Structure 1
Amino acid sequence: MLLFMSRLLTLLFVFSFPYSALCQELNVPNGQQFAYTWHVVGKGGHKYDQLRTYIFRSLGRNDKGDNVFECQLVRAVEKDDPGASPDLDTDNPKATVFNNSGVLTPLALLQQPLTVTVSAKGKLLDIDGYDAVLSRVDRDWELQKGIRSQIESRKESLGYYIQDMFFQFPDQPIGSSGEWKDKRGVSYKMERLYGHPRGAVKVNKEVPEFNKASFSNESLLQISFVREGDVEEKGIYILDPKTGLVRDFSKNKSFEYSYSSVNDREVSELAIVMETNPKESNLDTAWLNMAIKTGLWSAAFGSGQDYNLEKMQRYFKTKDAQFEKTPLYQVNKLSLLQKLRKNPKAEALYSDLLMSIPNAYLSVPGLYHHLINKFHQLFEKDARLAYEVAGYFYQTKDFNSWLHETSAQNFLSSYSSNKESWDNGLEVVRLMHTDKNLAMRQTADPLFYWSQANKNPKDLNKLLSSANALSKMDNKTMQLGKGGRYGVLVYQLLVNEGKQAEANHLLDAILDKLHVVVVDTLYGGRKDDRSILAHAYQLKYLARKGSGDVNAIKYLSLAAQYSPTGPADKSRMSRYDKHFLKSKETYRQDFVEMLFSSGNEKQALKTFAAHISAEPESLEEMKSLYLRHFPQNDFKALMSDEVIVSWEKAPDFKLKDLNDNERTLKDYSGKWMVIDFWGTWCGPCVAELPEINTFNKELDEGKYPGATFLSIACKDYEQTVKAFLTKNNYEIPVLMSDNKIQFKYNIDGYPYKVMVSPTGRMITLERGKDWRKILKLFNRISGVW
């Protein structure tokens, strides 16, 4: 480890001086040590925040007169966004986000000696020792080929970082004006400074006025520079005139850039400060090697579908004692065994280890899937142990989802069908229900009340007690515990047992609570609860209708109103709610039928249009419904005048195809069209391309006149897309994204499809629905106009 002793002075004041007398080259005495903290923040289209601290020691000059330094990276911090938590902070390496492969390069370089050669004029000539770094990576980490190549390619970036720390003097002597311009068109001005006002150099501010109180006998050099044109730069160096070393450096830089069809602007702020007492990270090399070798990016134990159990076991045997109490080791160990698909020996070993590893060592943020597996295995077998597992991650989204999507299904079957499983599961929920921690109780309470009532609905004391408790639950319990779902389930139990009055009281309470939570914009489940609210109003409609209430239809109207309006209103959890409640996807169709039957055509058509927009696959059925009531009417005119006109207008675009031809939305007008947003990097996108290619060929052959297909490749390179299509013999039309189109169309993931009408109106098509069938349906029934 390099030792460091130096003295730092910051921003200083300007005086005229004959520049021929000042240092105009780098001349650092043999043995002098210094350190820099390099910090860059990206604020343009690409946001990032990176910090590095390097320590240097001069080794004197070589026989060519170049300066030679020993250099070590001693600290690194990486953030995806200036305001985000760090993916890497070498002061706290055990919090590293290892699923970001970008953290591996600074970790590979940390505390590794490099030899840096810099010319007398300050130009970086060579970095020696990088091959030794790669050799250590190969020996200790055994990375996948692509990830190893990534680290190898970062040597060039390291050169840019180090060059920033050394000012490049001009080849020609600096004249008395102190001004010059380099070959890139950058204008420089050198001035001599005295004194140092408080604060760091700010490139967007003028140098402060001379202050006698800040006067110092030591002089430094200020070199300001400006670059204009395609790349804009503005900055200030503060140099030591004796050695030519940088004391402070600040720079703003911005430029336009493009890749594929993407155009954006890079804006960055760089600051380099010479440190008197640099902060150095102390790294546990053994822990780091273990974390990476057993992690996502290593090929030490295999790759793809080919993993070696014996090799894993040999490694585990040598490391178990050392890392027995290390959570990441235990989690990575289990994850490695999971890679051995359809291997009974590995599956048995995984199960044994899962049960033997203490829960605390399985609780790694972002890697809770092994705790979930353990909870799942114990839920129906050992209530006390399952409850103990839940205590380690009950406040996470992972646990909440698993409990209400999977574990709760244990109570859907009748108690008599599996008493042991039922009793164990119910005991887990009861233990959570009686836990001293409020959040755990809120997560489990509604499930407990429903499950204890559903065990034996004939036990009216428990049934009524559960109903009473659910009617009084607070909003947080409604949210964390899926109170709406379980409240409605208990309502149905009450109805089945002939307790309609008590059921009505509970349903009214649940409706009131649902109305509160669905307007809470900070509540992630509010859209799921809107669907439950729609079903609850459907139940109220049926109850009021059954009692002879002539105004019951208003509740069916509310059921239609709160039904999902499209894919954005649905989620995985909402599908489970539908499964538990046996509810419909939407109640608009029921409402439309009621309105048509009552003769309220105007109101019916509004709901009719909304229903087709939300559930476009129902078009055939809705057409039959409409013509059954109005056989004399023109359904195509209805689609044009009532339905399509209610859709959102598709945003226009101007994108290039793979032959560099510019295309706009208008080029595709007059036809029904599906636009697919995809990328070669997206697994689900690639998986469906064979079927897309086949369907597109049918369109090209004229099998469905009036319909067409278009794809837009996002976050991709044109050459990558071309090579991909050629390799797979795909003949689909592709436009390249400009990195703006996906935002105009509110893309929330990939693949993402929208259907555009011949008049340029659009709806989003829900994932999992047969979009080809929907396109053909609208093309056939609505036609082209």
Structure 2
Amino acid sequence: MPKYLLLLVYLALACSPVATIAQLKFKKNDSWRYQLIVKDSFPPHIVQEVEKIVRVTITGNNPDGSTNAVYVLESVAVHGSGANFKSADPDTYAGEWRIMEFMQLLHQPLEFKIFANDSISEPSNTAAVAKAAGTSLGLPGEMQDALAGNWKFLQMELKFLFPTSPKQLAENDEWKESPWKFKVVNAEKELVEVAGTPEENNSDSVVVTGAISYTLSRNKGNVQKFRSISRQAMRNGKVLTAREVNILPSPPKALPADTAWANTLVRMSRMSNSLKVNGESDSAKIAQFLAVTTPKYGNRLAFKLAKLDIYGSGSEYMYEQYQHALKDLPSAALAGSSSHLFNKLQNTYYQNPDSAMVLLKLLSADGSMLDSWLDQSFAQYLPQHDFDTTEARQEFRSRGVSEARIAEIFEESRKAPAGAQLLMTRMMAEKDSILQVSLRPMSLWNKAMYTTDTAILKSIAADFGQISPAEMTLGKAARYELLVQDILRKANMPAAADALLDKALTDLKNNQADTAFWTAHPELKNKKAANKNILSHAYYLKYEHTKATDKKTALNYLALAAGTAPKSNAEKAHESFYDRHFLHSEENYSAHFAKELEALGKPEEAMRVLSKQLTAQPDMLDSTRAFFNAHFPGKSFNAYFRDVLLKEWEDAPDFTLKGMNNENIRLADYRGKWLLLDFWGTWCAPCRKDLPHLNQLAEEINAGKYPGNAILAVSCQEPIETTRSFITANKYIFPAAHADDKIEKSYKIKGYPTKVLVSPDGKMLDLQFGADYASILQAYSNAYFTQEKEQPSTIKIDNKKKD
């Protein structure tokens, strides 16, 4: 449960008494309508107000003294925290979870009980209501469960509608219900007024302040009006939550909602499977759906936005339809939709700089997405490119791209560099400080590419003299420093190039050591990892430019390049792929270092370096074996692999999971085998795309082709029933289990799909996304199980972290 929801529960318990007025007061068919307004505040910035019109009806009394009742939501409006929704205003609808949660509850009677001991039950039929709505809308089972679970929290709201009744109904009657104390302040013939104040020292750590007042009908027992202002704060004064509740009788007539329109938007959203087959958008279903709905809703902005989601995945045809739908939307309509803004910007920047600037300003609300577009996409179009289009045309045709679209793509590519230069000029004229931080280092590189004037090049190098921590991180200054030093070197300016390379090294080392900056910005940890990878390349460049004059110093730089490289998948950053593209760098320089050590007659040291590199690059086993065999004749690489190398891997965390037939599956069941774990979900498109390959490997293992190997596909973040149905529908035969609430955390799963290799001795190795896991599994299995005549290995690895 999100933290703020948990705080809401505590706050409701703090400001709403549990006991209720004597059940004998309630009679069958008694019914009351209320206007309920709840305003919640979560400092510093979250404020939301929900206004409802509800009806509560007594449906019967039971022999045990309890009373049956139903709660019906007639209308709702939500304001604040980015939400502006009214059930009576179809123009405010969207295919979003929060709106759907309210709309699917409209006019659905939720059943609850008021017990003889003065407590109130949770609504008892939320699962049935959620299942009916979910089945109609194509919602997967876990979303139906989430709806039912959220609706159970309405128990707190029911407590506001049935507050505590004093036992004597007499003036000055007092009682306590921690953390509140109550008193009857006025007792008339028809009405009883109650006031509540917090107890003193009502908690050791959390202090409740505020006031409650309400009026009850003496005869009917129902609340006439209710007001509560309650705040929870720490002893140090830090406010945790604040809530204001007002209940008024006889509200205005509830205006009708357009449920058909609301349901249409849900079916078009990514929450729904209505327009999908096996998790993929289905063009036939979409065409049929749009044929019915476009005449009704085609001119509505929300409908046009929703079309982007239904075209979001699938074939080239679906992609083209997405592009057409995207062009049909004004830029302002995409505010808050970072991925759609990104895609529209990609198709706009070379055509119209002014339109591109509008999109950039909208995208700047998501800083990480803005940086991604600038450094990973836009920067690629700044240089002039001459390339042969033959292979690209063949690739496009093999993917079913139309000839018209292929021609359009190449025309866009032809226009891209000139358009990029116009936009660069336009962006540099902006006074937006955030944009300038992200852009200035790139603009210096761009300027250097298009001049041969040595004076200008020196000036550009000098402009890198004052690089801020933000520019080093958000502006990727080190990438552009290294690119410009290469331009200087090619311009026969070696001294200036060496100086800028040294400057880049200093900037990068200071950046890695800037604990104050990284502590203040934990959300940028991936950028720290990316800069560390650039630092590794900078060391390698120093090696390259030093080895001709000072071999010993150069070798030290190469050792630093190898030592700074990522040591596991956890230390890799996605954006480093783009840095390597621009810099023509490598992810790991250990192989270069090992080669130098070999040349110096130090094969054992070289072997240690290569062995460590396997942890980050598992597909290097064959080259590591070849090096071993060439330099250690008479010794067994397989024995070294089993007895030395594998012992340095991490221990695989233990687990016990439920299989598809509800059987227990344990890690211990695979002792003595190589196990390939695949963490996946039916909701994950890359996972689904890979499953046929995983299934083929499972078929080969079952056929006895790879003895001693096993597969276990672990489905995550979905009900086991969803996984079971998907596997059955696709006739997959690979063994599968369902993740519990521990395994994803213990195996440090950060994305999907993730493959993890577990050795027969219970050691594990992460495999990078896209790795040829079948070949890696077979290679490691052969190395482990194949016995060779051997002499004892004298090579040891020390992967322990040094202080």
Q: What is the TM-score normalised by the length of structure 1?
A: 0.71
> In structure 2, what is the equivalent of residue 103 of structure 1?
99
* Distance of 2:754 and 2:253 partners within structure 1: 44
Question: What is the distance in 2 between the residues matched to 1:495 and 1:125?
Answer: 73
Aligned to 1:532: 534
Residue 464 of structure 2 is aligned to residue 470 of structure 1:
yes
Alpha-carbon deviation of 1:744?
Answer: 0.8
Residue number in structure 1 paired with 2:247? 275
User: Which residue is equivalent to 1:502?
Assistant: 496
* 1:544-597 deviation per Cα after TM superposition (whole angstroms, max 9, x unaligned): 113325222121111112212222233432111111111112111111222233
| Counterpart in the other structure of 2:364 | 394
Give distance in 2, aligned partners of 1:466 and 1:278. 73
Instruction: Tell me the CA shift for residue 478 of structure 1.
Output: 2.0
Between the aligned partners of 2:677 and 2:482, the Cα distance in structure 1 is: 39
Q: Which residue of 2 aligns with 1:583?
A: 585
Match of 1:595 in 2: 597
Determine the structure 2 residue equivalent to 1:488.
Answer: 482
Instruction: Determine the C-alpha separation between the residues in 2 that align with 1:726 and 1:336.
Output: 25
Shift in alpha-carbon separation, 1:460–1:668, aligned structure 2, 3 A: same
Do the aligned residues in 2 keep the contact of 1:11 with 1:201 (CA within 8 Å)?
A: no
**SS of equivalent to 2:553:** coil
Quick check: 1:25–1:120 contact (8 Å CA) kept in 2? no
Residues 1:437 and 2:439 are matched in the alignment: no
3-state SS of paired residue (1:769): coil
> For 1:623-643, what per-residue CA distance to the aligned partner results, in whole angstroms no more than 9, with x for missing partners?
212332333433233323442
Matched, 1:408 2:401: no
Q: Is the 8 A contact 1:537 1:555 kept in 2?
A: yes
Deviations 1:438-465 (A, max 9, x none): 1111122122111221134x33233322
Q: Residues 650 and 760 of structure 1 are in contact (CA less than 8 Å); yes or no, is this contact kept in structure 2?
A: yes
Number of matched pairs: 686
CA contact (8 A) 1:612 1:643 kept: no
- Kindly indicate whether residue 700 of structure 2 is the aligned counterpart of residue 725 of structure 1: no
CA gap of 1:244–1:273, structure 2 versus 1, over 3 A, is farther
Q: What is the one-letter code of the residue matched to 2:613?
A: H
Q: CA deviation at 1:431?
A: 2.3
One-letter amino acid matched to 1:638: Y
- 1:675 equivalent in alignment to 2:653: no
Q: Report the counterpart of residue 328 of structure 2 in structure 1.
A: 353
Aligned to 2:575: 573
Q: Which one-letter code corresponds to 1:533 in the other structure? A: L
SS of 1:749's equivalent in the other structure is coil
Q: What does the per-residue CA deviation read over 1:126-148, in whole Å, with 9 as the maximum and x for residues that have no partner? A: 999xx99999x99xxx9744489
User: Residue 372 of structure 1 aligns to which amino acid in structure 2?
Assistant: F
- Cα gap change, 1:586/1:729 in structure 2, threshold over 3 Å: closer, same or farther? same
Match of 1:392, SS state, is helix
Letter of the 2:481 counterpart: G
Q: Distance in 2 between matches of 1:760 and 1:133?
A: 43
Q: How does 1:512-523 map to 2 (within 5 A)?
A: 512-518=506-512, 520=518, 521-523=522-524
1:331-342 mapped onto 2 (5 Å cutoff):
331-332=305-306, 342=317
Q: Cα distance 1:71–1:334, how it changes in 2: closer, same or farther (>3 A)?
A: closer
User: 3-state DSSP class of the match of 1:626?
Assistant: helix
Q: TM-score, normalised by structure 2?
A: 0.69
Match of 1:748 among 747, 750, 758: 750
Change (3 A) 1:480 1:756: same
Deviates more, 1:477-486 or 1:564-573: 564-573
Q: 1:614 aligns with which of 602, 616, 628?
A: 616
**Counterpart residue identity of residue 409, structure 1:** Q
Distance 1:98 1:758, change over 3 A: farther
2:424 corresponds to 1:447? no
In structure 1, give the amino acid aligned to 2:102. P
Q: Which residue of 1 aligns with 2:342?
A: 372
Q: CA RMSD in A?
A: 5.7
Q: Residue deviations 1:269-326, cap 9 Å, x none?
A: 9x99772489999999689948964952689999721344996799489774xx6xx6
Deviation, structure 1 residue 400: 2.1
Where structure 2 has 5 or more consecutive residues not aligned to the other structure, the ranges are 1-14, 42-46, 197-212, 229-240, 389-412, 788-803
Tell me if structure 2 keeps the 8 A contact 1:647–1:762.
Answer: yes
From the superposition, tell whether residues 54 and 641 of structure 1 become closer, same or farther in structure 2 (CA, over 3 Å): same
Quickly say closer, same or farther: Cα 1:318–1:215, change in 2 above 3 A: closer
Query: What aligned pairs does 1:86-125 form with structure 2 within 5 A after superposition?
Result: 100-101=96-97, 103-109=99-105
Does the CA contact (< 8 Å) of 1:74 and 1:280 recur in 2? no
Q: Secondary structure at the match of 2:328?
A: helix
Distance 1:583 1:35, change over 3 A: same
Alignment of 1:562-711 (within 5 A): 562-600=564-602, 603-711=605-713
Residues 471 and 510 of structure 1 are in contact (CA less than 8 Å); yes or no, is this contact kept in structure 2?
A: no
Percent of aligned pairs with the same residue?
24
Report the Cα offset of residue 54 of structure 1.
4.7
Contact 2:16/2:159 (<8 A) preserved: no
Distance 1:459 1:452 in 2: 11
Secondary structure, aligned partner of 2:675: strand
Q: Distance between the aligned counterparts of 1:132 and 1:655, measured in 2?
A: 31
Match of 1:253 in 2: none
How far residue 483 of structure 1 moved from its aligned partner, in angstroms, is 1.5
Determine the structure 1 residue equivalent to 2:158. Answer: 165
CA 668–483 in structure 1, closer or farther in 2 if over 3 Å, else same? same
Match of 2:25 in 1: 25
Contact 2:756/2:766 (8 A) holds in 1: yes
Q: Are 1:422 and 2:417 counterparts? A: yes
2:219 is matched with which residue: 231, 234, 242? 242
Supply the distance in 2 between the matched residues of 1:301 and 1:666 (Cα, whole angstroms): 42
Cα pair 1:650 1:762 within 8 Å, conserved: yes
Question: Which SS does the other structure have where 1:165 is aligned?
Answer: helix
- For the structure 1 residues 165 and 376, does the alpha-carbon distance in structure 2 shift closer, same or farther, using more than 3 Å as the test? closer
Alpha-carbon shift at residue 62 of structure 1 (Å) = 10
Contact 1:592 / 1:608 at 8 angstroms: preserved in 2?
Answer: yes
CA displacement at 1:338 relative to structure 2: 7.5
| Letter of the 2:221 counterpart | G
1:284 and 1:450, CA in 2 relative to 1: closer, same or farther beyond 3 A? Answer: farther
- Paired amino acid for 1:708: A
Q: Does structure 2 retain, via aligned residues, the 8 Å contact 1:609–1:642?
A: no
Bigger relative contact order (CA 8 A; separation at least 6): 1
3-state SS in 2 of match to 1:708: strand
Q: 1:712 aligns to what SS in structure 2?
A: strand
Corresponding residue for residue 402 of structure 2: none
Identify which range, 513-522 or 113-122, moves more after superposition. 113-122
